[in-house]
Structure 1
Amino acid sequence: MTTPPTHADAALVAERVGAVATAPLHTVAARLREVIEEALPHRALAVFTQDCTGRPQKKAGDPSITERITIAELDAIRRRTAGGERPASALIAGEEHLVLVFGAQTGAILVLCEPGRPAYPGAEAYVRAVWETAATRIRQQVAEARPDYLRESRAASSERLRVTAELTARHETDLETLLATLRSRELDDTRARVLATDTAAGALVRVRAGSDLVASLAEEAVSQAFQRLKDDLRPLSRYGTVQVQFIEPPPDGRALPGEVAHAARAIVRSAVLLMRDQEELTRIRIQWNCDGANLLISVRDDGPGLLDSGRPAVGLLTARATALGGHLGIEAVETWGSEIDVRIPLDPPDTSDTVMRMWDLAPRETEVLRLLVAGRRNRQIASELGISENTVKFHTSQVYRKLGVTSRAAAAALAADAGLGFTDSRPTHITPRP
C-alpha cells in the first residue's frame, strides 16, 4: 500500500486542490480525476449537479462508460444517496457497476465507477475533501454567471431540451399506438395483452419522467427563480439601512432557461451592491416581468442619480446580458435616482451557420448531422432527404471525420453542445441530385 502523504507533501496537496478549485467548469471532471486517481483508483468518474443547468453531468475516464452515462442514471443515484443510502453498485452506462459515491453540501454527487483499493489510510477522506471543494466551486462559478459560462450553457441546454422534447414526442406516439392496439378487443390472448399493456404503460411513464427530469434541470419556474433572488438579498434588507422592495413576476409566466435565471440573479445582485455604494440612498425596488419572449428586469433606486455606464462594474453587468443576446441600459436623473433596465431573450439565436462553417461541412452533410441530432436512423434520413442508405452512410462517415468522432451518438452530442440551432422541428429538405 502506498505511503500516506507527509507534511513534506503539503505543498503538492495544496497545489492539487488549487488546480481543482480554479478549473473551468468544462474541465473540472478531468482535473478532479487527475487529482484523486492516485489516492483512490477508479475506471471513470461522473459529477452530477443541479446547479449547472447547461451540463448537469461532467465525466472523465474510460470512454466506454463516460460516453454512455445518462442523466437519469445519475439522478437515480442522487435520489438513493439523498435517502440515506450509500450504494455499492448502481446502473451506470446501461450496466450494473460497482460504485463509490460522495455527496456534497451543495447537493451534488461524485460517482466513482469501478473503484479500486484506497492507496493509503485516509485516502477516502482526502477525496471527500477535494470533492467538497470542487462542488462548492462549481456552485460559485454558476452563481458568478460569467459571460463565457452563460454563452456555453445556453448553447448546451437549449439544444438538449429541443432534442429531448422531439424524442419524447416520438416515443409517446409509438407507445400510445401500441397501447391502443393492445387494448383492442380483437386480441384473444388476454394474459399477453394485459402483460404487454402494463409494459408499454410503464415505458410511457418512464419516457415522460425522463423528459420532465431534463426539463427540470434546464429550466426554472420564474416564481422560483425570483424567490431564490429574494433569499439571496434578504440579509441586505434585514440588517442594512436600505429598504429592498420586490415586485413579483406573474406566477404563470414562462419558465426561465437555467442560464437566464442564473444571469438575472447575478445581474440584480451586482446592481444592488453597486447602488448601495451611493450616498443618501434609502430604497431599492426590484421588478421582474415576462413578455413571453424576454425576461424584463428593472432595478431602481432613490439615490442621487449619479450612476453611469462608465464604471467597470457596470461593464460586467452589460457583458452578462449581451452574452445571452440581451441588452442593459442605465437611466440616471440627478436627485431623482437611477434605474437599470435589462432585457434577456428566453430563446437563443440560431447558431447553426457559424457551427457549420467551423466544421467546414457541405450542405448535405449539414442536413445529415441535423437529422443525427434529432435521433433519426439511416433509413429515416434516407427517406427524408430522398437519397439511398449507402449515400447516408457515406455522408455520415464524412461528418464523423470532420468532427473527429467515431459514433453517431458522439457526433450528435458534439453538435448539440456546440449550439447547432433548428428553426423548425424538421430540417429543410434538399432536392436530390439527379
Structure 2
Amino acid sequence: MTDDTISRRELAEQSRLLAEQTDRHAVALESILAILRSPRLDDRAARAMATDIAAATLVELRTANDEQTSTLFEPVVGAFARLRSDLRPLVRFGDLDVQFVEPPATGRALPGDVAFAARAIVRSAVLALVDEGESRRVRIQWDCDGLNLLIGIRDDGTGQLSVHDDSLRPIAERVSSLGGDLDVSATAGWGSTMAVRLPLDPPAMPEPLADNDAFSQREREVLRLVASGARNRAIADQLTISPNTVKFHVSNILRKAGVSTRAELAILATANARRP
C-alpha cells in the first residue's frame, strides 16, 4: 500500500468524521428546539430534558472519533437501531410523526462508511422535512438485497420535492460519492418518495490530481480555495469575481478532475499537494 493511498484514506476518514459530527450537532439542536417548543412539557421539565439531551450529545461527540474509526462493519439492524436512537428525541417531541420499517435481520453487514452514509442521508432528509414544515408524517424503510442497501423515505407533504432541490444536494453528494443512485418521485398533494441505492462494496477512490497543467491559472486559484473549504461567496470575494463565475470555474474543475462533488475534489487536491 503506497503512502498516497494511505493519505487519501486518512483524508476521506477525516471528512467522514467531520460530516458525522455536523449531522449529530444538527439533530441534537433540532431535538432541543422540539423539546422547548413542546406543549406537552412545562418549562421546568423542558429545560431539564433539553439539558440532558445536550449533555448526552456532548459525551457522544467527544468519543465519536474512537467509536467510528474502530467500526469497520455494522449489522444492518444495528446501524438502523443507531439511526432510531439519533432521531428519538426529535421524533418524541417534534411535530413530525416518523414511522420506522425495520430491515431484515439476515441482511449483510454494512461497511462502516455505508452505514454512516445511510444514517446521514436519513437524518438530512428528516431535518429538511422539519425545516420545510409541510409534512406531518414520514416513513423510513431500509432493505438489503445482498449487494446494495436500499433506503426508502416517504412523506405526506405537498408533493413538490425534486431531485434538483437545494435541500437534497448534501444527500445527492453522499450518494454519488459511494457510487449509488438517488431517485425522487412526487405527486402533488400526496407527498414525495425518495429512493436511495448504496452499493455495499463502494468504488475505490480516484487517483490524486496528477496533471495541474490541465487547469488554467484562475482554475488553480479556485481549486486551492475549494480545497481549503471555502464556499463560493468567500472565493468570489477573495478573487474579486462574481459567485456565478466561481460556479463556472468549479464546474470545469470537477469535469477535468473526473469527480462529481466538492468534497471529492478537496480530498484529491489535498492528496496531490502532499505528493513529493
TM-score for the superposition, normalised by structure 1: 0.33
* Residue in structure 2 matching 1:247, options 101, 123, 127: 101
Q: Point out which structure has higher relative CO (alpha carbons under 8 A, 6+ apart).
A: 2
In structure 2, the CA distance between the partners of 1:277 and 1:252, relative to structure 1 (3 Å rule), is same
Aligned to 1:317: 171
Give the SS at the match of 1:340. Answer: strand
Equivalent position to 2:146, from 271, 276, 292:
292
Q: 1:240 to 1:323 in 2, by over 3 A?
A: same
Aligned length: 162
RMSD after superposition: 3.6
Corresponding residue for 1:270? 124
Q: Percent identity?
A: 47
Taking a change above 3 Å as real, the CA distance of residues 290 and 237 of structure 1, as seen in their structure-2 partners, is same
Shift of the 301–139 alpha-carbon distance from structure 1 to 2, 3 Å rule, reads farther
Unpaired runs of 5+ in structure 2? Answer: 1-8, 19-57, 211-270, 272-276
Q: Which position in structure 1 is the counterpart of 2:114?
A: 260
Counterpart in the other structure of 1:305: 159
Partner SS state of residue 183, structure 2: strand
Q: What's the CA shift string for 1:278-328, capped at 9, x where partnerless?
A: 344221000000000000000100111111223222111000011011111
- Render the CA deviation track for 1:210-253: whole Å, top value 9, x for unaligned: xxxxxx73000000000000011111221012210000000110
Query: Could you give the per-residue CA deviations for residues 372-399 of structure 1, whole angstroms, max 9, x where no partner exists?
Result: xxxxxxxxxxxxxxxxxxxxxxxxxxxx
State the shift of 1:260 in Å.
0.3
Alignment equivalent of 1:236, drawn from 71, 90, 98: 90
CA distance in structure 2 between the aligned counterparts of 1:139 and 1:229, rounded to whole angstroms = 18
SS of match in other structure, 1:238:
helix
Q: CA–CA distance in 2 between the matches of 1:28 and 1:289?
A: 26
AA in 1 matched with 2:202: P
State the distance in 1 between where 2:147 and 2:119 align: 18
> What secondary structure sits across from 1:328 in the alignment?
strand
Cα distance in structure 1, aligned partners of 2:72 and 2:201: 13
Partner deviation per Cα, 1:398-422 (whole Å, 9 max, x = no partner): xxxxxxxxxxxxxxxxxxxx9xxxx
Instruction: Write the mapping of 1:52-67 to structure 2, written as runs, cut at 5 A.
Output: none
Deviations 1:116-174 (A, max 9, x none): xxxxxxxxxxxxxxxx5xx56x489x7xxxxxxxxxxxxxx9xxxxxxxxxxxxxxxxx
- Give, as a single letter, the amino acid of the residue that structure 2 aligns with 1:243: D
The structure that has the greater radius of gyration is 1
* 2:104 counterpart SS class: coil
CA–CA distance in structure 2, aligned partners of residues 356 and 304 of structure 1: 43
The 1:293/1:337 distance shift into structure 2, 3 A limit, reads same
DSSP-derived class of the 2:132 partner: coil
**Alignment check: 8 A CA contact 1:278 1:304 kept:** no
Q: Which runs of 5+ in 1 are unaligned?
A: 1-23, 30-50, 53-103, 108-131, 143-156, 158-215, 359-417, 419-434
Q: Distance in 1 between matches of 2:161 and 2:13?
A: 38
Greater Cα shift, 308-317 or 222-231: 308-317
Structural mapping, 1:361-400, within 5 Å: none
CA apart distance, 1:268: 0.3
Q: What's 2:136 paired with? A: 282
